[in-house]
Amino acid sequence: MRNSDSGVSKTGFQSYQSKVQNPKSKILKTVLHWFRRDLRITDNTALTAATRASERVVPAYVQSAWEGSHRWTGAHRQEFLCGCLASLDRNLREIGSQLVIRRGDAVVELERLVAETGASAIYYNRDPDPFGRAVEERLERMGRERAIEVHDFKDICLHERDEILTQKGVPFRVFTPYFRAWLKQEKTPPCGRLRALNSGGTLPQSAPLPQLADWKLAPAGPGLPAGERAARERLRSFLDARVGRYSTDRDMLAIEGTSRISQDLRFGLLSIREVFALCEKRARELPANQRVGVEKFIGELAWREFYMQILWHWPEVLDQEFDPKFRGMRWWGDIALFARWRDAETGFPIVDAAMRELAATGHMHNRARMIVAMFLTKDLQLDWRLGEAFFMQQLMDGEIASNNGGWQWSAGTGADAAPYFRIQNPWTQAARYDPEALYIKRWMPELHDLPAARILRPPEDGRSLVGGYPAPIVNHAEARERALEMFHSHG
C-alpha cells in the first residue's frame, strides 16, 4: 500500500510527524530506511520519520549491478559514492547501527530485506528524475501486492513538483518569476542530527561496502574527501570565508570563489534545508555590501530546483529540446571534431584547460562549463546531447536535471535559455575570467612559459601557440556566422 506523506504546504516529514505524535497512532515494530541520494544522518526527512514511527529501523543501500560503462555516471562519481557510503556506515555505527548493503535490483532486494527482517514498512526520500521515479512506482506496486507500507518523502528540494506554480496554476518556464515565487514560499527548517538509531541487535547479512572495482571501473584520479563531515566542512569554509564575495568571485576561474558543495547536494551529504537556513543566518551576520553574495548563492540553489521542476513536468527534455521550435534541428558540425573537444585538443586554451580539469578531477568550474558547452554547440555546431552525455559520465557532481538544463541553456534550446544568437567568444571569455591565464597554465603546463597576452588571443597566423599543441580547429568569427546560419535555416 502506498502512503505519500507530503502536500503542497508540508513536507512528508511534517505530515507524518503529526501522525506519530498522536498517541492513537500505531508504532510499527520494524521498518526499512532505503538510502538513495540522502547519505547522511543529519536532517534526513525519511530517516527521521522512520525513527519516530517505529521501534526498530534497518538502514539499507542497494548498490547498482551494472559493469563497465553507464549512460549517467562514471569513475569519478562512483569513487566519490564509495567514500560517501563508507562514511555513512561509520556514522551509523557511531549511533548504534550500521549500513546494510545489497547489490542488484532495488525493488527485488528491498522485498528480500522485508522478508528477512519482518519489516512492515519501507521509508525513502523521493528522487527527482524519471529513472528514480520509475523505480519508485515499481516499489509501490510491490508494496500493494505484499501489504507492505511504502512511505515516500520530500528531501532533495525545498520545493518540488507542483509546489511552485504561476497564478494560472501551471509550471514556470522562465526562472526570474519562478524565483520570486520560490522566495515567497515558507521554507521548512532543518530538524537536526540523529543521536541514536535502534536497529534491534543482529542485522541481516550485508554485502561488503562498494568499491570502484565492483563496476569494473579504474580509478579516475584524486577527488574530494567524501562523507557528511567533509561536506559540512566545505560548506562552513564557504560561508565563513567566501560567500560575501560570491557574486563577483564566482566567475573568476583561477580563484576558489564557488562553494564546491554541488556533489554534496547531489549525494545528499548536506540537507538543502540546512544549507538554506545557514545562508540566511550568515546573511544576517554580514555587512550590507556582502549580503548580495549570499543572495546570489541562494539564487543558484533556486536554479537547481527550477531545473528539477522542468524535468518533473517535461521529462522529454532528456531527449528533445525544451523549446519546441528547435526540435528536429540538424546540427551541421563535423562529428570528428567531438573527439578533439573531448580530448582537450581544440587549440583554444580555455576550452582545453577546462576539459583537462574535468578529466583529472571530475569537476569543472561553472563558468568553464558554459564556455565549453557553448563552444561545442556554437563554434563546432555539434548536438548538445553529445556534451550532456559526456559530462554526466565525467562529473563527480553529475545531476541529471541541472546538467540537462545547463547544456540546453548554452545551446539556446532550453528553459529561459541564452538566445541562440548569443554566442560567447572563447578568447574574450578567457581574458575576462582568467586575465592572467593562471587557470589555463594550471591545466596546460605546455603553455606555462608564454605571456598571458599571447595565450588569451587567437594566434594571428592561425598556427599553434607552442610546438606539440594543436592550432585552433576553427576560426571563431567564421564559426559564429555558420552557427547563426544553422539556427536561421531551421527557423
Query: Which residues are annotated as catalytic?
Result: 300, 303, 331, 366, 384, 407
Q: Classify residue 126 by its DSSP letter.
A: P
CA–CA distances in Å: residue 201 to residues 60, 117, 118, 193, 205: 15, 11, 14, 22, 12
Chain position carrying cell 564509495 = 82
DSSP one-letter code for 378? I
Please spell the DSSP secondary structure of 299-313, one letter per residue: HHHHHHHHHHHHHHH
Phi, psi of 4 (to 5 degrees): -90, 105
**65, amino acid identity:** A
Q: Whose CA is closest to 262, among 436, 428, 445, 76?
A: 76
Q: Which helix (H) or strand (E) holds 466?
A: none
What cell was used for 355? 576539459
Listed residue (13, 3, 15, 23) closest to 45, CA to CA: 13
Euclidean distance between CA atoms 418 and 83, whole angstroms: 37
Q: Kind and range of the H or E element at 125?
A: strand 121-125
Closest by CA to 350, choosing from 338, 341, 363, is: 341
Give the contacts of 341 (CB within 8 A, at least 6 positions apart): 351, 355, 372, 375, 376, 380, 382, 387
- DSSP helix/strand/coil, 62: strand
Distance from the first to the final alpha carbon of the chain: 49
Report whether 44 contacts 88 (CB < 8 A): no
Nearest CA among 293, 221, 232, 295 for reference residue 264: 232
* Residues near 41 by beta carbon (within 8 Å), at least 6 away in sequence: 47, 88, 91, 92, 95, 193, 194, 197, 228
**Partners of residue 139 on adjacent β-strands:** none
Q: Where are the alpha helices (DSSP H) in 173-261?
A: 175-184, 228-241, 246-249
**Strands across the sheet with 149-153, in order?**
2-4, 149-153, 121-125, 28-35, 54-63, 100-103
Element (H, E) at 447: none
Q: How many angstroms separate the CA atoms of 300 and 279, rounded?
A: 12
